[in-house]
Structure 1
Amino acid sequence: MGKLVYAANTSLDGYVEDEDGSFDWAEPSEEVHAFWNEHERGIGTSLYGRRMYEVMRVWEDDDWLAGEPPVVREYAQVWRAADKVVYSSSLQEVSTARTRIERRFEPEAVRRLKETSSTDLSVGGATLGAEAFRHGLVDECVILLHPVLVGGGRPALPRGVRARLELLEQRRFGGGAVLVRHAVRAGA
């Protein structure tokens, strides 16, 4: 059975993007990129909302990767190897391999996907992540806190959801980013 992992880059004040929708402050160092590569290597299926998918689909294109460092090119390979499910009522088609569209987020279908998966799954994007939290689907939360305050924007974690967490890992990166990884405890 696979775990559903919510993973996000966040500002220290808890946002995945600022009030203008920017997340340029979260550009990863080579060390942080290597961490995300390793993390994503264990993911067999990524669940995305439309907006997060539109951001992530750049990894399908080789043109811009030619001059990038090896750690960046490696992430593209890892990303391409995973299956992707995009939840969208408006997206007409996908432009990446190993990707399918679901018109609605159905918690029971995600539960079945977890039960039948031999690898972990990830949920990407704060909006879809919030839905997964609200339905008790998230098993683990991986947050990379960046040393910046953005003052507002899209919250990384859902409002109105209570959950008990158990710290599994903490790590400091050069440049001041801090990883915190928590298990979400059942019955919270």
Structure 2
Amino acid sequence: MRKIIAAINTTIDGICDHTAGIPDEDLHQHYTSLLNNAGIILYGRTTYQLMQFWQTLLKKPSGQKSMDDFALAIDKIPKVVFSQTLKNTEWDSAEIATKEIEKEVLELKQQSGKDILVGSRSIIIQLINLNLIDEFQLCIHPVIAGKGSPLFENINDRTIFKLSRTKAFNSGAIILYYERT
């Protein structure tokens, strides 16, 4: 059975905002490795459309190895997008989910293969409430955003996780790895 891993960037105050973090070479390398070692990634429409930026680097590489490598990794990994408004993914490695989130994710979890990543705040919240997250990889950036969308919002029940390890970056960002107890 595959593990469901919620991997997301937040600020010190728990805000999920793609513009608030401090991306650097180390962080891009980390996420490239994470993508290369996973079987699939789940997105909501908003995050998926933000991630489509990386397609531009496939056509015109930046010259920064870590960013170009990340673009290749995000292009390669299969993506499932949960959206009621998106009609076309415009990305060969992406498909729109056809089932309700619980059924779709449970079916993916039962398949053989590498772990399932979740990279969208909205999908993480839904999967927490469905009790389907096996591990968190919270990358906390040394920034206080002060406003924005908090990661842990509208959570139904208390759930306990155990810190299994940490990873620090030169930028001051740190990843906290939490596993379900």
Q: How does 1:66-105 map to 2 (within 5 A)?
A: 66-102=61-97, 105=100
Partner of 2:162: 166
Q: Could you say what secondary structure the match of 1:24 adopts?
A: coil
Q: Could you say what secondary structure the match of 2:145 adopts?
A: coil
Matched, 1:184 2:180: yes
What is the rounded CA distance, in whole Å, between the counterparts of 2:170 and 2:59 in structure 1?
Answer: 26
Q: Could you say what secondary structure the match of 1:40 adopts?
A: helix
1:23-57, Cα deviation, whole Å (9 max, x unpaired) = 32214111111111111211111111100110011
Q: Following TM superposition, where does structure 1 have runs of at least 4 consecutive aligned residues deviating by more than 6 angstroms?
A: none
Q: 1:113 to 1:103 in 2, by over 3 A?
A: closer
Unmatched segments (≥5 aa) in structure 2: none
Q: How does 1:13-28 map to 2 (within 5 A)?
A: 13-17=13-17, 23-28=18-23
**RMSD over aligned Cα atoms:** 1.6
Contact 1:88 1:103 survives alignment (8 Å): no
What is the rounded CA distance, in whole Å, between the counterparts of 1:110 and 1:95 in structure 2?
Answer: 22
Partner of 2:5: 5
Contact 2:58 2:72 survives alignment (8 Å): no
1:42-93, Cα deviation, whole Å (9 max, x unpaired) = 1111111100110011222346742331111111111122111111111111
What is the rounded CA distance, in whole Å, between the counterparts of 2:16 and 2:165 in structure 1?
Answer: 21
Q: How does 1:19-58 map to 2 (within 5 A)?
A: 23-58=18-53
- The number of residues matched between the two structures is 180
Q: 1:135 to 1:63 in 2, by over 3 A?
A: closer
Q: Which amino acid aligns with 2:143?
A: V
Question: Which residue among 139, 142, 145 is the counterpart of 2:137?
Answer: 142
What is the rounded CA distance, in whole Å, between the counterparts of 1:177 and 1:63 in structure 2?
Answer: 27
Unmatched segments (≥5 aa) in structure 1: 18-22
